[in-house]
Every structure is written in C-alpha cells, then in structure tokens.
Amino acid sequence: MTTDQVAVDKAGLKKSTKKGLVGAFWLAVLTVAEFIVYTVGHDASWRTIALLPFVFAKGWIILDTFMHLRALWSEDH
C-alpha cells in the first residue's frame, strides 16, 4: 500500500471555499426573507405567489454553487 501525495491548488481551494460561503450566506438571507414574507402574509394563495421568487432563487444558488450546474456547459468541463 502506497501513499501518494496529491498537489493541492490552494488558490482554487480558496476560491471554491469563498464561493461556497457566499452561497451559504445568500441562502440564509433568502431563508430569513422567506420567513418574514410568510409571517406577514394573510392569504394562503398570496403567500404561495410571494414565495415563488425565493424558491427559484434558492434553487439556482444550490444548483450553481453546490452542484456546479453551470460548469457543465463551460469550456473546462
């Protein structure tokens, strides 16, 4: 059994970590905003319509930041 050392791209790791933290921050902000919109809303149908932009925004952040969806169509992939 051998142990091979793998070179770590520190700049790439730092960039990826920063992107992940920024994505997590925006998910937290949108979650708080969702909570506020939900508690202020009076009618159930109004709440559903008001929360749809948050659902799409959070979905895109998750797909792009954590699942790397946009990278599928880039030149590097």
Q: Is residue 54 part of a domain?
A: yes
Q: How far apart are CA 49 and CA 28, in angstroms?
A: 20
User: Quick one: pLDDT at residue 77?
Assistant: 56
Q: Is residue 36 part of a domain?
A: yes
CA distances from 56 to 25, 34, 59, 60, 72 (A): 16, 12, 5, 6, 20
How many domains does one find in the chain?
1
Domain membership of residue 34 as a residue range: 26-71
Q: Is 54 helix (H, G, I), strand (E, B) or coil?
A: helix
User: Quick one: pLDDT at residue 59?
Assistant: 96
Q: Is residue 11 part of a domain?
A: no
pLDDT 10s digits, 9-49: 888 889 999 999 999 999 999 999 999 999 987 788 888 88
Structure-derived torsion over alpha carbons of residues 17, 23, 25, 29, reported in degrees to the nearest 10:
180
Q: Is residue 67 part of a domain?
A: yes
| pTM for the model | 0.78
Q: Is residue 3 part of a domain?
A: no
Q: Is residue 7 part of a domain?
A: no
pLDDT 10s digits, 41-74: 778 888 888 999 999 999 999 999 999 888 788 7
User: Quick one: pLDDT at residue 76?
Assistant: 65
